Copies of this chain bind each other. A is one copy, B any other.
Amino acid sequence: MQLIVQKFGGTSVADAARMKAAAKRAVEAHAAGSNIVVVVSAQGKMTDELLKQAYEINKEPSTRELDSLLSTGEQMSSALMAMAIHSLGVPAVSFSGRQIGITTDSFHTKARIVNIKDDRIKEELSENKIVVVAGYQGVDENDNITTLGRGGSDTSAVALAALLNADMCDIYTDVDGICTADPRTVPNARRLNKISYDEILELTSMGAQVLHVRSIEFAKKYNVPIRVRPSFNNGTGTLICKEVKEMENIVVSGATVSKNDAKITIIGVSDEPGQAANIFHELAKEKINVDMIIQNASAHGLTDLTFTVSKEDLPLALKTTERIKGEIKAKEIVADDKIAKLSVVGIGMRSHCGIAEKMFKTLSDEKINIQMISTSEIKISCVIEEDQAEKALNAVHNAFELDKEQ
């Protein structure tokens, strides 16, 4: 028997009518003979409203209490979804993350799933029920409620799909699928029919806000096919799957720009072995993710080290580097949060030359200065001035002719 996991995001369950429309999709797939697990996010702006309430009461709310507060949004959705399915005459039962047995580590507000039990979910499925699970949440080993971070419901859905060896994980959203670039910035962006895990992973890491990045890591690891599809029409969306031969011909699949980063430069670090390790060890201890790192050629035994972190982490990253400034014998620490990171991603890069040159040339023609460069096997990223982000994205999208089917 087929098993499908369907995940509905906040806009897809925002009110009674949408909740019922989503329930109808689940019931139709169930009627077609599949086992169905539904994962839901909190309704509409619920999470934002809860956060607002929290910050009204306490400017630095405890993350444990935040998780307990925020997890209620998905629990509500799951109960309402079960009721909506009942109203269509199909048996259903809702569970919180904890009830279904999702255990996580204890990093509140950005916890990672460590284990999921399958006994209760399998038992309910065997009774022909649609099982509705509150996304975004779990519980740590001390029975404290945890959440998986913004977009974490995607990860709940893919993790459940992996656990249950699902045939498909359908992610219903308010967009038509995954595009070559964000259509709000690039008017001629085109929907992709298919994309590989690696490409979407790079695009997401580089700022494309389609899926929770952890969910793709899970999908890749357990080979879970994901279909990102529209809630509000019958579009086929975009299939995310493992790489197939035909993808190698696609030099660039997508382009993206992110304004979520900030840049820190540590000037005049003494050029001795272990200094960089020192710095990044301290940052890691604070759970700060460092993205791009550049170290300039050493002159007179001193070197400059530049790296990017998320804007959110900038204050803590600055505090941490200032703290060890003496130890690493640095002269000065400079921060810049008016940057953007422009990236192009494509599996074909592995076997095609000249992609980087074409990107640099395009930016140069537009008089856009490149501050930092970082590359991977299937990605090139440039840090540029924030104000030039939109212009740069459109220029690159045109240069690689992403609007045309390849």
Contact = CB atoms under 8 A, between A and B. Distances in A.
Interface of A: 16, 19-20, 50, 53-54, 56-59, 61-62, 64-66, 68-69, 71-72, 75-76, 78-80, 82-84, 86-87, 93-94, 96, 99, 143, 145
Contact of A83 (B62, B86, B93, B99): B62
Given A65-B79, A72-B72, 17 more contacts: A19-B57, A20-B57, A53-B76, A57-B84, A58-B83, A58-B84, A58-B87, A61-B86, A62-B86, A64-B93, A65-B94, A68-B79, A69-B75, A72-B75, A72-B76, A96-B145, A99-B143
B80 A54 contact: yes
A145 B79 CA distance: 11
Given A20-B57, A57-B20, A99-B143, A79 B69 contact: yes
B76 A50 contact: yes
A194 to B, nearest CB: 36
A39 to B, nearest CB: 15
A62 B54 CA distance: 31
Given A20-B57, A53-B16, A68 B94 contact: yes
A54 B69 contact: no
A59 B80 CA distance: 12
Contacts of A56: 16
A57 B16 contact: yes
Nearest to A134: B68
B61 A69 contact: no
A96 B65 CA distance: 11
A57 B24 CA distance: 12
A66 to B, nearest CB: 7
A219 to B, nearest CB: 29
A20 B58 CA distance: 10
Given A16-B56, A56-B16, A68 B96 contact: yes
Contact of A65 (B59, B72, B82): B82
A85 to B, nearest CB: 9
Given A16-B56, A19-B57, A80 B69 contact: yes
A76 B87 CA distance: 27
